[in-house]
Amino acid sequence: MTRDLRVCFVGDSFTAGTGDETATGWVGPVVAAVRAAGTPVTGYELGVRRETSIEIARRWYPETRARLRDGDDLRVVFSFGANDVSAPAGRPRVPHERSLAVLTDLLDEAAASGWPAFVVGPPASLDPAQTARAVDLSAGMTQVAEECGVPFVDLAAPLAMSALWAESVRAGDGIHPDSRGYRMITEIVRPPLVGWLTRP
């Protein structure tokens, strides 16, 4: 029998591919790669601009449940943190420990629903202080994911070292990259995520 894989990608504007002139972001290429690997998949992109982990936590379950009613392999990919570590008023929108507590709750709720989860951390920023917070948050998210037995991919550290990433963000709106930046995210995320999704 053909495996019916359904995946919700829950997150923020980077999950939605904001700024990508090709309108594919990184979710589209990952779903395409899973299909190319011979695994039929239905991917649901549930990214909302400017949302923090707290806001995502309020909406994720009903949105996901509505889409994971059918199928025999149901999974969730969480991708957030950029808005948590942004500081438009001089301090992070979400304190570090609160972000980690929200992630723990999300992973516990996904496990209770029988949905295997995967986590993608926030990308680097043009603001060095925000990038430092993203790197720090990613380290904490790594630990939470390990404790919950969930795979995690760090974007902040590798993108922070890339001149091309910075160039792509400058060419975008100063926050989101153009298609070159999303291709970079795809190259980081695709191998572990496609491997995870193609394993029953």
Q: Which domains does the chain possess? A: 5-198 (3.40.50.1110)
Give the bridge partners for 200, in sequence order: none
Predicted local confidence at residue 200, as pLDDT: 86
Q: How far from 73 is each of 5, 11, 76, 122, 189, CA to CA, in Å?
A: 5, 20, 10, 26, 20
The stretches in the chain having pLDDT less than 70 are 1
Predicted local confidence at residue 71, as pLDDT: 83
Give the bridge partners for 43, in sequence order: 7
Quick one: which of 61, 32, 66 has its CA closest to 198?
Answer: 32
Predicted local confidence at residue 1, as pLDDT: 60
